[in-house]
Structure 1
Amino acid sequence: MKFLNFFRRRAEPVPVATPEEKAQMRISAMAMARARETGRPGLQRFELRPYEPPPGVIPAADRSAVLAMDSTPYGYLNAVGFANGFPGYQYLADLSQRPEYRKMASRLAEEMTRKWIAFKTKGDGDKTDKITKIEEALERHRIRELFKEAAEDDGYFGRGQIYVEMKSPRGTVATDDPIELASPLFLDPRKIAKGSLVAFRKVEPVWTYPGVYQSTSPLKAGFYKPGEWYVMGQIVHCSRMLMFISREVPDILKAAYNFGGLSMSQIAEPYVNNWLRTRNSVGDLVHSFSLTILKTNMEATLSGAGDEGLAERADLFNQYRDNRGLMITDKEMEEIEQINTPLSGVHELQAQAQEQMASVSSIPLVVLLGITPSGLNASSDGEIRVFYDYVKGQQGSIYRDNLKRVIDIVQLDEFGEIDPDITFEFVPLFELSEKEIAEANKVEADTDAIYIDRGVLMPEDVRARLATDPDSPYHALELSDEVKAPDEEGVSEEVTEDEPANTA
């Protein structure tokens, strides 16, 4: 036996790896480089860098000197780990073509201008004619539409601007008079004479760049606030440009963001990308949730020899493949297996991605996408009320100061003076239903009846309030008509304004 074992082939010893060698993993540099190039799909990273406007915004002779005003330490900021910078107006304009970004900006702008404003007056004087002329001027100059477009630009690009076109005291249009265009626009009848207002025009931020701004002393009023703007080669004083910025960036980033703010598109991009990936994944999953496997003879194909019969067999299988068809297979050599991917819970994942996309814009799903809540006693009233409160806050922070300036300019143009007793307020967006209005009127009428019975009010007091309330159905009631009030025995007696009812 020992002699026979001598002629047997001895097996080569298998090397046994030590625990240290098992734990160690070597990854090639090529694989790492490919992973860095690929990255996570849908995510964009932009280095923080100086913003450079397109050619023509700054005069060629002034370009180097103006751009040199930006003293932000970009190298230091990028070295300490800044991951996101300004993507540029070209990239943001590209995002505005997607419905997800467009609906966020446009829907909020529509809600901010849907009900618009109502004028109020102080004192006892009748200013109806003045208010009518102001409203006509605002409509003539399309202020409501321009404010909506400026809010959309703020959502797309992070900044909206409206230029005020005026005639100079010499009678020339400001855009044709460089000296007038660069001078401040004071709210004074000596600067804004009657009939000097020409138009209001919206200007996209890509065509503007800040001129002179102070960046040395944070204690001064003009710190990081441009005193003038370059608009396609022309110098425009800041008082002639109405600025709309809802999401300010820190001072250290203002120059890189062209003195604008964060756009809604830039904030919502990770959430929109997550939604797009989820939507595409769900679509792919539904499209191929069922996988059919035909087990057949693959010997010739796997060995490298040509096998046209296999391709024809696959075509025949696809021709017969149908829920109402009959699939015939070889009993000895073939077998069919079907794998189905469960689809339960997929719709919930997709709905959550949509909700996250809507949450970043502070717009409820029913307002943004028209999707109503599901479930027993589900309602969106609470979310809509919260959204209307948010819109009211946005109106006050973005619109109020600019709208006050527009109305003052219109008054100087129409009347030659500014009436401090004329003010305005934004009309509330929330509306009561017809049933809720009827119930509120019933409660109010019962309260008035109690006050009249107790002698607190006279019937003519309630009548006057109903006649002057613009929301009352008796708004056009003539106060000169006679009022009949019930007497103590229930018999009505005529009451006029000169002879009040006997309420004793």
Structure 2
Amino acid sequence: MFDIFKKKTIEQPKKREIEQIEKVVKLESISQKVDALVQHNFQRDASSDVQGIGMDSATLKEAYTFGGGYGISPIVMQYFAEQSFIGYQTMSLLAQNWLISKACIIPAKDAIRNGYDITFNSGDDIDVRILDRIRELDKDFKINTNLVELSYFNKVFGIRICMFEIDSTDPQYYEKPFNIDSVKPKAYKGISQIDPVWITPILNSQNASDPSDMDFYVPEYWLVSGRKIHKSHLIIVKGDEVADILKPTYRYGGISLTQKIFLRVYSAERTANEAPMLVQTKRTNVRKTDIAQVNSNIDGFKAGLEAQIALRDNYGTLAIDLEEEVIQLDTSLAEVDTTIMTQYQLVAGIANIPIVKLLGTQMKGFSSGLGEYEAYYQELENEQNYIMTPLLDRHYQLLIKSYIEPEFGFNENATVVWKSVQSMSAKEKAEIQEIKSRTDATLANIGAIDGEAIQKRIITDPDSGYMGAVIETQESENILSELLDDSENKAQA
């Protein structure tokens, strides 16, 4: 009567429906992975304000889900989220790679190679003994080594913290804001640089909760080995700045070169490693055969192949049956070197270093890179001005207060003037000296300067060949006379 006990036929899902279900499951798994990445990259439990809501605890899932007007695919979001903060321990390990290490250390050494001069606000002549003493103290404090280390580890970690060791009888010296007048004679002992894994930022209630505060998310203190150190005692340099919402994740540092470059380095190294493997396996032998007969005697076919492999190498002879046919396919290696060097060029582009400088050799098919070097010199000047100069300014402030003033009674603010990062050849220096001499003669002809002024310029110019020479007044007048005669002779010629 009624088919209530009859087993119902279950309709099988159509192929298209199955594909849609698999797609949804795949998207859900990607979305879950993105959720995990976001949980890792964004700190959700930041310091709270009086209402108990952290400034960076906003809902972030809508930023990458479909709908809501955001319109960004989880797959795209996953790719970029994986390139976020990788951790300082990981950065330390990655920096051991030869290419990452070179990308971090080369600009640091190039920036200080030609050195710098020190000038003082008064503009008066400084006693040579003072300058010699400053140079001597610079060697004692290893200032050049500290500058290279500062720049190198800033690129490795995205932040570098320098603390100036001051011998003070005040147990709360570092907790109080920096005061140069509290530095006693010979109290300045040197510069200590601290990796970010050993130091903890401390924010106060104001700069942790008020976005309108000028020091918002700028730690007031840093905790080092149980000591609270006020930020004014530290010189802190950073990589590229991140948005406020990411600062807790980055430990209030910046984006490191290591983080930006490691994926490209991995791709370049993998591509380069493929080259020898391609050379060894670029030849493929194709042996035409009857598949039906192979299936009927698979063991005999395998034995025949093994015998063929045993009897043949690249210099041997291959024996085949009269009716057999063997074809050898060769993989072309024509563009392999170009592909490899393109990957290394991407690495050099991220590091802002000419590829010839980074790899140390001129690559086939690449230009001399003069335009790249101009951009590189600008990068070095930025490194000098924004990374190294703040450290030097505080160093000389403490050096003069702690050593020079007690010994010589001299206390003026020092200013660092960097020399050109471009190294000139001997010919270029000689041409510049010739231009300077003609300028001296022209100015002397119109009475703008005298022989004494020219003498002073010559003995203070490190490229003149007469630096530090003592010239009597009569000799100075003779020099001026000779310059004027040469100028007149050239004009008549």
CA deviations over 1:110-164 (Å, ceiling 9, x no partner): 2233333221234324232223222222221222212321222211111111122
- 8 Å CA contact 1:291–1:339 kept in 2: the answer is yes
Q: Which of these residues, 56, 65, 71, is aligned with residue 73 of structure 1?
A: 56
SS of the residue 1:47 aligns to = helix
Judged with a 3 Å threshold, the aligned counterparts in structure 2 of structure 1 residues 131 and 79 are, in CA distance, closer, same or farther, namely farther
Verify: 1:224 aligned to 2:224, yes or no: no
- 8 Å CA contact 1:117–1:426 kept in 2: the answer is yes
Judged with a 3 Å threshold, the aligned counterparts in structure 2 of structure 1 residues 229 and 358 are, in CA distance, closer, same or farther, namely same
The AA in structure 1 aligned to 2:414 is: I
Judged with a 3 Å threshold, the aligned counterparts in structure 2 of structure 1 residues 445 and 134 are, in CA distance, closer, same or farther, namely closer
Looking at structure 1, the residues matched to 283 and 116 of structure 2 have their Cα atoms a distance apart, in angstroms, of 57
- 8 Å CA contact 2:201–2:219 kept in 1: the answer is yes
Looking at structure 2, the residues matched to 115 and 487 of structure 1 have their Cα atoms a distance apart, in angstroms, of 35
Judged with a 3 Å threshold, the aligned counterparts in structure 2 of structure 1 residues 126 and 146 are, in CA distance, closer, same or farther, namely closer
Q: How many angstroms does 1:76 deviate by? A: 1.8
Q: Which of these residues, 363, 382, 391, is aligned with residue 380 of structure 2?
A: 391
Judged with a 3 Å threshold, the aligned counterparts in structure 2 of structure 1 residues 229 and 367 are, in CA distance, closer, same or farther, namely same
Match of 1:156? 156
Match of 1:16? none
Judged with a 3 Å threshold, the aligned counterparts in structure 2 of structure 1 residues 374 and 326 are, in CA distance, closer, same or farther, namely closer
Judged with a 3 Å threshold, the aligned counterparts in structure 2 of structure 1 residues 477 and 51 are, in CA distance, closer, same or farther, namely farther
Match of 1:424? 416
Judged with a 3 Å threshold, the aligned counterparts in structure 2 of structure 1 residues 292 and 216 are, in CA distance, closer, same or farther, namely same
Q: How many angstroms does 1:72 deviate by? A: 4.2
Where in structure 2 are the equivalents of 1:32-431 lying within 5 Å? Answer: 47-50=40-43, 71-74=54-57, 76-81=59-64, 83-84=80-81, 85-121=84-120, 122-169=122-169, 177=171, 179-188=172-181, 191-213=182-204, 214-296=207-289, 299=292, 302-303=295-296, 307=299, 309-332=300-323, 334-372=324-362, 374=364, 378-414=367-403, 415-416=405-406, 419-431=411-423
Looking at structure 1, the residues matched to 308 and 39 of structure 2 have their Cα atoms a distance apart, in angstroms, of 50
Greater gyration radius: 1
Judged with a 3 Å threshold, the aligned counterparts in structure 2 of structure 1 residues 289 and 217 are, in CA distance, closer, same or farther, namely same
Q: Which of these residues, 19, 24, 40, is aligned with residue 26 of structure 1?
A: 19
The AA in structure 1 aligned to 2:411 is: D
**Structure 1 portions without partners, runs of 5+:** 1-20, 38-43, 53-62, 171-176, 493-504
The AA in structure 2 aligned to 1:370 is: G
SS of the residue 2:229 aligns to = strand
Judged with a 3 Å threshold, the aligned counterparts in structure 2 of structure 1 residues 375 and 80 are, in CA distance, closer, same or farther, namely closer
The AA in structure 1 aligned to 2:342 is: Q
- 8 Å CA contact 1:161–1:241 kept in 2: the answer is yes
Looking at structure 2, the residues matched to 186 and 33 of structure 1 have their Cα atoms a distance apart, in angstroms, of 60
CA deviations over 1:398-454 (Å, ceiling 9, x no partner): 222232112111112112587335322122211111122222223333444455566
Judged with a 3 Å threshold, the aligned counterparts in structure 2 of structure 1 residues 413 and 257 are, in CA distance, closer, same or farther, namely same
- 8 Å CA contact 2:151–2:388 kept in 1: the answer is no
Range 345-354 or range 404-413, more displaced: 345-354
SS of the residue 2:117 aligns to = strand
- 8 Å CA contact 1:193–1:413 kept in 2: the answer is yes
Q: How many angstroms does 1:392 deviate by? A: 0.7
Q: How many angstroms does 1:298 deviate by? A: 5.4
- 8 Å CA contact 1:112–1:391 kept in 2: the answer is yes
Verify: 1:466 aligned to 2:467, yes or no: no
Q: How many angstroms does 1:108 deviate by? A: 2.0
- 8 Å CA contact 1:161–1:205 kept in 2: the answer is yes
- 8 Å CA contact 1:50–1:255 kept in 2: the answer is yes
Looking at structure 2, the residues matched to 413 and 491 of structure 1 have their Cα atoms a distance apart, in angstroms, of 51
Judged with a 3 Å threshold, the aligned counterparts in structure 2 of structure 1 residues 438 and 339 are, in CA distance, closer, same or farther, namely same
SS of the residue 1:371 aligns to = coil
Judged with a 3 Å threshold, the aligned counterparts in structure 2 of structure 1 residues 451 and 408 are, in CA distance, closer, same or farther, namely closer
Q: Which has the higher helix share?
A: 2
Match of 1:3? none
Match of 1:445? 437
Looking at structure 1, the residues matched to 360 and 337 of structure 2 have their Cα atoms a distance apart, in angstroms, of 17
Looking at structure 2, the residues matched to 256 and 286 of structure 1 have their Cα atoms a distance apart, in angstroms, of 45
SS of the residue 1:285 aligns to = helix
Looking at structure 2, the residues matched to 65 and 35 of structure 1 have their Cα atoms a distance apart, in angstroms, of 32
SS of the residue 1:327 aligns to = coil
CA deviations over 1:302-334 (Å, ceiling 9, x no partner): 35x661x434422332244344322111112x3
Judged with a 3 Å threshold, the aligned counterparts in structure 2 of structure 1 residues 128 and 223 are, in CA distance, closer, same or farther, namely farther
Looking at structure 2, the residues matched to 220 and 26 of structure 1 have their Cα atoms a distance apart, in angstroms, of 53
- 8 Å CA contact 1:248–1:262 kept in 2: the answer is yes
* Percentage of matched positions with identical amino acids: 24
CA deviations over 1:159-182 (Å, ceiling 9, x no partner): 111122222235xxxxxx4x3342
Where in structure 2 are the equivalents of 1:455-494 lying within 5 Å? Answer: 458-459=450-451, 461-480=453-472, 482-483=474-475, 484=478
Looking at structure 1, the residues matched to 229 and 481 of structure 2 have their Cα atoms a distance apart, in angstroms, of 72
Looking at structure 2, the residues matched to 117 and 423 of structure 1 have their Cα atoms a distance apart, in angstroms, of 10
The AA in structure 2 aligned to 1:163 is: M
Q: Give the superposed CA RMSD.
A: 3.8
Judged with a 3 Å threshold, the aligned counterparts in structure 2 of structure 1 residues 474 and 134 are, in CA distance, closer, same or farther, namely closer
SS of the residue 2:284 aligns to = strand
Q: How many angstroms does 1:391 deviate by? A: 0.8
Q: How many angstroms does 1:292 deviate by? A: 1.1
Judged with a 3 Å threshold, the aligned counterparts in structure 2 of structure 1 residues 183 and 466 are, in CA distance, closer, same or farther, namely same
SS of the residue 1:163 aligns to = strand
Q: How many angstroms does 1:92 deviate by? A: 1.7
The count of residues paired between Structure 1 and Structure 2 equals 443
